[in-house]
Amino acid sequence: MEQNFIRRTKVYRNYFWEFYNEQTDTVKDKIDYVIAIVRTERKISKTFFEHMEGTDGIFEIKVKVGNNIFRIFSCFDEGQLIILFNGFQKKTQKTPKNELKKAIELKKQYYADKEAGNLD
């Protein structure tokens, strides 16, 4: 069924899964729903997916469940492949600098691993 996807997703290292596995089933369901939108919709609403300005290609996948806001940082590779990095629950209006810094570093590590042939 993956051939029906406009975009594919791949998880780099375990940061996303560590975040995902800590969530309630309701939050996991919403994360799955939003990632499905990212994979299948030609034009994605900024409600769900947006470029982080000044980050050289980091995007955030946005998930809202009730009053709780969650973010998953990602980047594009090879056109329509989205690499998922770290996720977190957003507690304030501002994006935590440490989480953004981690995503930027993970992107650098991803491309270094790719260049060295260290990705599955």
**Domain containing 109: what range?**
2-115
Question: Does residue 98 form part of some domain?
Answer: yes
Looking from the CA of 66 toward its CB, the CA atoms found within 13 Å total: 5
Looking at the whole model, is its pTM more than 0.85?
A: yes
Question: Does residue 99 form part of some domain?
Answer: yes
CATH number at residue 101: 3.30.2310.20
What total of structural domains would you count in the chain? 1
Question: Does residue 56 form part of some domain?
Answer: yes
User: How confident is the model over 11-26, as pLDDT tens digits?
Assistant: 999 999 999 999 999 9
Question: Which is it for the CA torsion 105, 110, 113, 119, positive or negative?
Answer: positive
Question: Does residue 41 form part of some domain?
Answer: yes
Q: Please state the separation of Cα 65 from the chain's center in Å.
A: 17
Question: Does residue 25 form part of some domain?
Answer: yes
Question: Does residue 39 form part of some domain?
Answer: yes
* Mean pLDDT across 73-93: 92
**Alpha-carbon span 83 to 85, nearest angstrom:** 6
Question: Does residue 120 form part of some domain?
Answer: no
CB 107 within 8 A of CB 88: no
Residues of the chain above pLDDT 90, percent = 83
